[in-house]
Structure 1
């Protein structure tokens, strides 16, 4: 864990990331708020690419809670059985679809508390939906964000919750909406877990990490 960076350095880091990718996008494919929610639930302990392969055909026939309930749990399993923990995830998707139909008129709620009350939806999942669909500056801390925030000193913390709170405190407001996507992509493709690709890192000169590679 690196020491906390100062405001000027953090602003410079996000300024560079913004210049390279002004409108970063999440890599989970979706067509509406509901399919985004389902995709994020399915992505737990799975890759975005694997989820996308499973959901392309699924979302063509089940892009609303009602259609998903009509498909049923066994029908859903046939589409997602290549994804880890598919049986439990199928149960969660069917149950959350029932709740959306019964409680929210088939719509995805836009508060973190309401989202987290749904089966299979934790704080990270709720934050992804709030950020990507409702355009809230929510910080979804996955393994990539956790690693980059600690390595760089942007928002060090010993727990996911601590890093999330620190990001909310440290990221300049003008960069808050896209911050977690920049950090995810940076961690996924450059600041990887083993042998980070420091030679092509756009913020190398600002990073205090002792794990730097050539």
Structure 2
């Protein structure tokens, strides 16, 4: 069981009738749709940050993720132009974001490969703008707990002793790991993220590419389709 809040964006296996590969659905409220419209043009730049971050931290892991996605024709989680005919940006199929004192128990991820990478930071909620913003006066020391733990090795990232943007590589499907409980002051949060090639996502892409050319577009729901 997990506590806190988790969001995801990207591609996953569908439970919708007649669909094989779909983007994560958004909240159906008008406000959520408007916020997504603002976000979509920025996704490419965000995805590039994760590519550069993983490549800088662990070049070999970056190459493995890129090569696996290329061989399997797995579209990047941020790919807005993917229409079922050509994968222009093969990489991780999912980006997950957590906040609201998210925590979970020791587990292994259901990923296709052993590469997982994420970034952690703190932010302050602006009530006037109704959004989270970076604030130079806010840092990890302001949020109690929330360590990232590798249980089998007795190793953890102690965020309270860190500052700024923290990035982490882990073998999600092999190493048992967890995010420990945290306590945040009001209107403050630590955000955690990860990019991965999920096992279910990889299987969905395999089924998708196994279908006939004339069938594929009808089996696909993109982020732009969600906006219609």
Q: TM-score, normalised by structure 2?
A: 0.23
Higher percent of residues as helix: 1
Higher-strand-fraction structure: 2
Q: Could you tell me the TM-score, scaled by structure 1's length?
A: 0.24
Higher-RCO chain (CA-CA 8 Å, sequence separation at least 6): 2
